[in-house]
Structure 1
Amino acid sequence: MEFAPTALALIGLLLAAWTAGAAWLMISAGTKARNAENSRRAARRMARMLDEAPAIPLLVRADGRIEGSERLAHWLGFDTLPQFLSELASGEDRGLSKEDLTDLTQKVRRAQKTAAPFRMALTVPGSQRSLALRGQLADPQVSPGGAALVWIFDFSESETELSRMREETARAKGDFAALVGLIEAAPMPMWFRGVDTRLRLVNSAYVAAVGAESADAVVANQTELIEQVDGLDAAQIAGQAAQQGRPVERIVQATIGDERRALRVSDLPLGSEGVAGYAVDIQEMEEQARSHRAYANAQRSMMDRLSTGVAQFDADRKLSFANQPFRRIFAIRPGSGANGMAFDRFLSDARDEGRTPEVRDFPAWRAEHVEWFTSGEAQEEAWPLSDGTHLRIVAQPMPDGGLALIAEDRTEQLALSATRDTLLRTRTATLDSLFEALAVFAPDGSLQLWNRSFAGTWGIDQEVLDQHPAVDGVLEEIAGNLAKPKHVRRIGEVIRTATLDRKEQAGRVALADGRTLEFAGVPLPDGNGLLTTLDVTANEQAETALRERNQALEQADEVKTRFLANMSYEFRTPLTSIGGFAELLDAGIAGELSDQGKEYVQAILDSVGRLTDQVEDVLDLSQSEAGLLPIAKEKLELLPFVTRVVRERERGIESGGISLDLRGGGVAKVQADPRQLSRAVGHLIDNAIAATPKGGKILVDLSKKPEGTRIVISDNGTGMAPEELRRAMEGLRPSADGKGMERRQGLGIPLARQLIEAHGGTLDIQSRKGMGTSATILLP
């Protein structure tokens, strides 16, 4: 079948149109799909925002159906939200109460019919959740057909806080009303000032005190109760209390009615609210206090004139008053701050002053006496003191809880009550117990009293003394016993000087039996004279023996001096001769010597040198101990001097494999004997060389100190134990049998010490076993 060209053209146009329409449909469908996806995404985002919003929407349709989120269902206690509004009250522990649901239903219907918005609050039963509802007619775009949209807010926390604040407000109002009533009924003037210190509130007592018509008139006129004091009115003082943040209390005078009254005024700052104040009338108290003070002053003035000590302790057991006799008895010093002293402290201080009896357990004794305050009856005790004082103590408890303490010194009464015979026997026994011979003579010369030793010392018959003879009769008895009877006038002169001239005088006489008596006359306060005698025979003999021994020591010292001089010559002369002959032999004067002979001669010379040094050491040590060592001081450059001493021992230092370090920068000159100081330093260096092993080190340090020039010689050798060091310092000491001397660790250290001390210096040696030795020389 063949188609005409026109038909083919129409078919082509039709196919093209169909293709274009299909393409447009496909593009339109893709656009609508993207828009739908965007709308769904926006809807989900909006739904999420609503879920996170502080308010939840509830849509109530006209037929009672409701729409809301699961979050609202959880607020109301449901797992899922009911379909109808009437189903929200489905139990006691969830949903709404019947009253709240009825009220909500009515307001929702009113809003659906009249478009009137509403608000209400309710509480979910069985929980503490409080909800606020705000309802209105829903927009037709939200829900057509007259639905109501209710927004629900959770304000549980705010409601709790509001409830608490309502309760506190109600309580504060009640308290304020009670306080205002109390202030108004108070019998004392009370007021309140604002932060500007102006009066804002006064009570009726204040109004009556200032004579005003009413409280409003007082506040309006700012009528002050208190007058100006020192240029400051009441408002200014209240301002100071507010600035300082602490109460201010003062006693002032004010006119109330027609009388001047004493008032205790207090201003109490109330933070940022203002200042409260009140005034207490203390006029009667002041008058009573003045009367009481006047009575107390008169009573205490009268007590000060008593000879008996009186003290008062208050209810706090503190000393409030003590008259002068009481202070004197218990050694309370003026100005010691005794007033206010606690009773137990008073007893402790009295014990320290020796004004309480000696007891074994003083704390227990003190506790017993503190109970006097609560005993209820008077207590009386006798206190014998260590100084012989006898006190009668009476403690009277007072009605106010205090204590009155009365102390009476009865020492004099007890002394007067003792009989004269007892006093005489006591005095006689006392004199008889003395070593001295004593006799008391009256001014008329008669013998009044004597002790047991007097008769035996002077050789007088006891029967003669029992007759109380005159001084002349006593002297006649004494004259026969003296080595020189005429010396009895000395004794008579001493007695006369003591009794009549009232002066002390002493003397000494020898008896015929060889004894020596020393006597003295002493005037007594009662006008009598005391003759005291002491046998000094043993002292005389001891003095004689000492004088003889001193003469023997002087002679021995002279012998020792001569011996040292002779020995110095006798020792040195043979040694010099031996050394001289040995040197001649060594020089070949007697002919050429064989090698062995030269060795013998050299050994002799070495031995002579060592023996010479030992002799010099012994002689110098002996002379130093005897104080005869000659010291010729001159100015020495210390560093070159010590360097020369060290150089002399260079061979021994090198042969021992020892290193020596000499330090001495900045050392000045010293005054010393070159020979003796060289020997002292040399001995210490020799000891260090001998004690230092191979590879050891010796340090010689010279320094200038404020106390003098110091030379330190130290080594790291074997060192010495304390006992070894002590023996080294002793050197020579007497042997055990006392017949000779024994050698201890050589003479080097003792001689060095003697030589240094002869220069006015000191030697100190410190040593530890295995750690080395340090010798310190200090020269002035």
Structure 2
Amino acid sequence: MELTPTALALLGLLLAAWTAGAVWLVIGSLQRARAARAARSTVRRLSRMIEDSPAIPLLVKTDGKIEGPDRLAAWLGLARLPGYLSELDGGDTGLTEFDLEQLRDAVRRTQKTAAPFRMVVTPRGSEKSLALRGQLADTAVSTGGAALVWWFDFSESQGELARLRAETARARNDFAALVGLIEAAPMPMWFRGPDMALRLVNSAYVEAVGARNAQTVVDEQVELVETVDGLTAAQVAAQAHERDLPVERIVQATVGSQRRSLRVSDLPLGEEGVAGYAVDIEEMEEQGREFRAFRAAQRSMLDLLSVGVAQFDADRRLAFSNQPFQRIFALPASTRIDPPQFERFLDLARDKGRLPEVRDFPEFRSELAHWFTRDAPHEDAWTLSDGTHLRIVAQPMPDGGLVLVAEDRSEQLALSATRDTLLRTRTATFDSLFESLGVFAPDGRMQLWNRSFPAIWGIPEEFFDEHPHVDKLLDRISNRLARPGQRKAIGEVVRAATLDRRQMGGQVMLSDGRTLEFAGVPLPDGNGLLTVMDVTDSTKAEEALRERASALEEADAVKTRFLANMSYEFRTPLTSIGGFAELLQSGVAGELSEQGKEYAGAIVTSVARLSKQIESVLDLTQSEAGLLPMATEEVDLFTFTTQVVRAREDAIEAKNLTLDLRGDRGAGSVMADARQLGRALGNLLDNAIDATPDGGRILVALTRRKSGARIVISDNGEGMKPSELARAMDGYRLGGEAGESEGKRGLGLPLARQLIEAHGGRLEIQSEKGAGTTATVLLP
């Protein structure tokens, strides 16, 4: 179908219109997207401005729901902002009940009347002062009559106001206290106006002049101080006022009913007048007497000190010296009667060899005499010819005298030298140890270390010269640890040794493959010692030993299983051999000759003996593997033991032995597997029979104990050495002659021990060469 030109034109116009519409839609979408991004940016900026503003908004709706940032919850001490206004009281945090009630009333009033409000609250457990300003929220913020509350933190302003109020109250209290102090002062005090007339007196003044009250003194102008040299007290005060200088004098006055000396002071106060007060100096005299008594007591006390003290007066004469001073300088007794001058004292001390040896003694004496005129104390160290070390302190006195203190520090210096030696010895000891040592103070700083400590961590020694903190040290060694998290374990060990005063330890592995073992030890001086050792070789050896032990255990288990399986496998053909030998012996296969019958009997005997040995091996291996079947029942011990003994009558009679069975029914009963327990006792009894020579004696004794039963089997045979007994208990054959009985070799003793232990008992064997053997079985 062909299109006309008109149709093609219309089609082109339609496509152009569609394209223009699509372009217009795209442009509109882009403009709306830009507007949305601008709106979101504006919202984020406004939100950020609100978050950073010093005020926090809180929107309270009419139903009590609240909206606001979590920063307000932090101000109120809450974990998060609740959903309702009533939940702002968190019990121990948030607003108090009173403040919350006031806030609710104000919010309701604002919601109803649109009236703004202001109030101040203080959250529980906080010193913040929060100012609240509430108003009705704009409809653009929230519709329905919600209230918008702005919260301000004005703690600093509130604190400043509180401080000013406190200072005002303190000033008011100080003024009141000052007035009260003047009124309650024990000394007379008064105030004169510009005309030098009395205007104010305190109670002490009234009491001193014997008036009724202060008003009477002021009205009658009663003076405390009498006229002296034709000048009244008012005239002297007028002179002080005119000169504007304080006047102080000592006068006699009648105070109460006594005549006393007073120190009277008149103090001009500018145009206001003159203030005065009087001090009773009689008390000062008493204090002077007390001071003299105190000085005498002090000198007596100085005699008891180990430090020499001497005092020279203004004339440089020795006024006092205690006994240590006289002993240090070897002063003669005549100095107490005729005190010498300072220069003479030096001459006497030099004669006794109590001064340092100097080349020019007159010059030296002249230098010491300048101590009297110094402005500050002078300290010197003297070394005498006999090795005595003196510390001399010269203290010039205000009156021109001198106090001389002499301390014999010879012992202290010797102790200091000893201490230095010990410190050097300790340092040398530290450096010679194989362990790496570091001493940390309670504040975490490193105090001491030996040469191995930097080397073991691979840190330069210069790093330790500044005595680094333990945290800085851990930061330095973190990159050398295979697991950097282990640095915390080292820090805990140091903290436990220094602060908790307890010992801890641990291990860390370095990135180079080394293993370090460390331990923290508290020291008596409050520091903590960190010891570090390289245990790489021992750790590797330990791992190798553990692997070897595991291999040995596995091999032992394989051996046990092998023996158990092979014991079962041995029993089947052995039973067949024994059966065929008995058939041959009975003549089933034809009559045998006498020699054939003898051979068949030897086969049956050997099979019986081999079966017994295989059964012992089986029971022993099962017992060691914990697989031995036990059918426990109540066994009467005396009857049971008697049966075991009677089963061996032939062997006992064959060797003409004497067997003494001691016991009765009082031995009681035990819970045991009769067959296995019989084998254990039988093996012990067989060993005793085999070890006892012909005509010997065997004792079997049964006794009842509080916690079980005891069976003793003893013989007077040849006995065993300790090494032989150990080998017998391990199942090895004991050495002996070729004709030695078979009872002293094999698995008899190990099997007996295993069977008894399987019953919860214990086997004890004592043997002495030439004296016999005693086996004790203890059963629960």
Query: Would you call these one fold, judging by a TM-score over 0.5?
Result: no
TM-score if structure 2 supplies the norm length?
A: 0.39
Q: Which structure's CA Rg is the greater one? A: 1
TM-score if structure 1 supplies the norm length?
A: 0.39
